[in-house]
Amino acid sequence: MANKRVFSEQEAAEIMQRAVRMQETSPRSDYTPGITEEELRKIALEAGIDATFIEKAIAGIDVVEKSKVGPFNLTEEFTRVVEGEMDPDDFDKILSLFGHTQRNGLKQVGRTLSGQASTGAHMVGLSVESRKGRTKINVKYMPVFAYLIGMHGPFIAGVIALAGLIENGQPWLGMGVAAGLFTVGAIAFKSLVNAGRRAAKKLTGKIVEVVEEETSLRENLSHAGKEEEREQERVQDNV
């Protein structure tokens, strides 16, 4: 009998994540974003996880912000899946959350809106994909402006000051001035990164609200239209 490979829980989770990422980027048209609670419970039970811990984990995910933090906490990526398929014709409602110049990097291709945009003084990568009855939202904060605004100036000034004071025979003073400028730049950079991550989180919430509002509105209109058709049919039957 051939040996069956056994994976640790961490390896299994990593394999599942890799498989999901591969499926998301594949050209398959039958991919549905997200997973329902029922599907999640079924997978966990089949893996031998006690139902009590499954319920506790599901309850905990509602109070913990769902995001992925990058190296050195410089980036943060927020992903949400909303039940309901937003009509691509309504993507302009999402674009309205940005200023005209802030959204120039966003492009719509079919049922996907993606690209780079800015919210205030912060740059984000955005992807909104609507298919199979669900809408997937991904917002990733990128510290480009944080570096340019907070760190770049003090760093250049520190290098210039260090070189000038060394040339004037004051290397220790130059190192002190440079260290001070680098410290100021690092503090400003970190502060802007934290503010940018909060801005990305807030933007994610706003997009979720727009998607939920538009999908709910279309659903209500569709329901009202069906009710009107049924009423007309009843009237015709009674004539």
- Reference 147, options 181, 116, 203, 188; nearest CA is 188
From the centroid of its chain, how far is CA 119?
Answer: 14
Q: Would residue 180 count as lying in a domain?
A: no
How far apart CA 33 and CA 26 sit, in angstroms, is 13
CA 93 to chain centre: 18
Q: Tell me the per-residue pLDDT of 132-165, one tens digit each, with 9 for 90 and over.
A: 888 989 999 999 999 999 999 999 999 999 999 9
Instruction: Please state, in angstroms and rounded to a whole number, the distance separating the CA atoms of residues 215 and 82.
Output: 9
Position 75 in a domain: yes
Amino acid identity of residue 101, one-letter, is T
Asked if residue 57 is part of any domain, the answer here is no
The reply to whether 33 falls in a domain is no
Domain, as residue range, for 210: 67-145+189-234
Q: Is residue 103 assigned to a domain?
A: yes
167 within domain boundaries: no
Instruction: List the CATH number of the domain containing 108.
Output: 3.30.530
Assigned domain for 126 exists: yes
Asked whether residue 197 is domain-assigned, the answer is yes
Which residue bears the tokens 């940018």? 196
Q: What pLDDT tens digit does each residue of the chain (239 aa) get?
A: 456 777 777 777 777 777 776 776 666 556 666 677 777 777 777 777 777 777 777 766 654 446 778 777 888 999 888 888 888 889 999 999 998 888 889 999 988 999 999 988 899 999 999 888 889 899 999 999 999 999 999 999 999 999 999 999 999 999 999 999 999 999 999 999 999 999 999 999 999 999 988 888 776 655 555 556 665 666 666 65
Q: Please give the tally of structural domains in the chain.
A: 1
Residue 86: CB atoms within 10 A of its CB come to 27
Q: 158: part of which helix (H) or strand (E)?
A: helix 153-167
d(CA 202, CA 207): 9
